Structure 1
Amino acid sequence: MSVSPLVWGLTIAGILVIIAADLFLIHRNDTREFTTRRAAFWSAVYIGLAVLFGVGVWLFSGGQYAAEYFGGFVTEKSLSVDNLFVFMVILARFAVPKHAQHTVLMAGIVIALVLRGIFIAVGAAAISTFTWVFFIFGAFLIWTAIGLVRGDDDEFEENRLLRWAKRVIPTSDEYDGSRFTTRRNGRRYLTPMAIVMIAIGSTDVLFALDSIPAIFGLTTEPYLVFTANAFALMGLVQLYFLLGGLTDRLVYLAHGLAFILGFIGVKLIFHAMHEYGVSWAPEIPIWLSLSVIAGTLVATTVASLAVGGKPSGKTPEKAPIAADDADAAATRDA
């Protein structure tokens, strides 16, 4: 797949325009609470944009590349659902006011998108030069799948970047609207808004350690890897508000994702073996990968809903009521 610098530039510019419209037009000029209905509408808009882009890939580059893009997009989207629980824990732990959650998530996603772009460039260069990288990616995905089944990712732990920021940079304990910095006694401090943004962005980069190798198992085209990640990330904010507590009902989601990651990991290893001349190593076609991914997600959802979404122990603690919401809460209680 040959993509000119002009197409790359136009694609990145288009993504930036969509993000800017979301952050500065859709959200900032609307003071209403981001309800489930609104989240459903804008989630549909983002999924529609992703589908339209895939149709464009099919028209200009053919069905093979379109299938690779859709496989990557569905995989990234499904992995992001599991990651939403961690976002819920972060926002609850830092007691982020509801009106500020959209801004925090969008800022963190912009950071993650930039850093993921760097990861993709490095990964694509490594794969094009060293075939044995597929062995590493495949083994890592299988190891991650085992961790998902064991529940190793159930708890959120502050990563090193966040701990360093809280230790080194002067930080205020109080929010100042949606500002990232505030002034106290003539001194400038970071607000919890900035800290939680760092937490969201850096945590999402850690998620990329799973998702980037996974999508490289479906396509080695950097353009498709980047755009699939971009569309999955851009709709993550709306998906967060749409799903809410639904993640607790999808009790078998981790098992389904583990199977998908394990399958892609085996596919990567088979591909590397095939490249090194192992005659019995099969090449798994993209249509089979799409069937396995879609079938696993459907089976996982149906099985979870069939058992009634029994509590999985993942429900985050309720966030403390924000100061500017206290009066309204007291009125309701009265």
Structure 2
Amino acid sequence: MADIDLSSVGKDFAGTPALQDITTRFHDGEFIALLGPSGCGKTTLLRLLAGFEMPDRGRIAIGGCDVADAGRGAMVPPEDRNIGFVFQSYALWPHMSVRRNVSYPLEIRRLSRDAIATRTEAALQATGLGDYADRMPSDLSGGQRQRVALARCLVSDPQAVLLDEPLANLDVALRASMQAVFTDFHRRTGATMVYVTHDQSEAMAMADRIAVMDRGRIRQLDTPQNLYERPASRFVAEFVGRGTVVPVQAHDGAGRARILGAEVAVNAAPQSRFVDHVCLRPENLAISETGDLRAKVARVTYLGGKYLLETVLDCGTRLVTETRARFDPGAQLGLTINAPWAFAED
């Protein structure tokens, strides 16, 4: 298994930067999710790691060995990187059985017949495909085909596994069950995994750390909990989870701030005396008759056991909160702000 190191990596397409100055490390055995809007550069970064593209600037090392160095014009081809790649489209050979699809990478490497049979059977069993080994891809469901792609990746014993939105083609229920498959796969193999997705719930559920990307840069690389509770910028605060970013009107540098006309306690990074925005998540807002803010319910969404309320203040600011009690649109509420996260806009 291997660390993945990126040093000042950049990539342009037709003169337009797709990646800009990416410098970071994905640690050995980590499950990393690349999360961001369309066009932010996450798939480009994955393709650079795989060796499908050459960086225009910077250096990439996997397991301590340089696999791409733009300064020297050196690049290790994909087949020599010992990296598994799971595509969104599965990329299975339709004329081969499940067993042959899984074993084919070993056949290409000219391993012995016994070694191929042993490793193929182990990969099939690890992904729950033992009973489907002799079926053709056309006879499988979407989730089963995805398991074949995983087994084919696992059989090569890769030092890192790259996954490009592998659940995007599955229905909601199947995606939820496949998340457990990927998590088990990671735990069992211990491989470093880099997973591209635009689905926040997938990233939050599976990743050890998430790299939130925007316009070719990593805006924050952190644990799911820290990204949600302690975003480092307005972009991350607005992109991850529900909530509203509002300006701080005044801050005393000691944990008290004036927000939307109310004096409230705020949380901030240690020794952070200058903050100018807060992120108000649903849990930072409590419904109270004596609340600091007066709001009108604009929309009600049932979430199963609770309701999501979109409210509007007199000043026009929209805030989102959750409650187990039902309120109708147009209802007037009092809201109290409880310890939101404060940060300095980047």
Greater share of helix: 1
| Structure of greater Rg | 2
The answer to whether the superposition gives a TM-score over 0.5 is no
Which structure: greater strand fraction?
2
- Bin the TM-score by the shorter chain: under 0.3
Task: Identify the structure with bigger relative contact order (alpha carbons < 8 Å, sequence gap 6+).
Answer: 1
Could you state the TM-score of these two structures normalised by the residue count of structure 2? Answer: 0.23
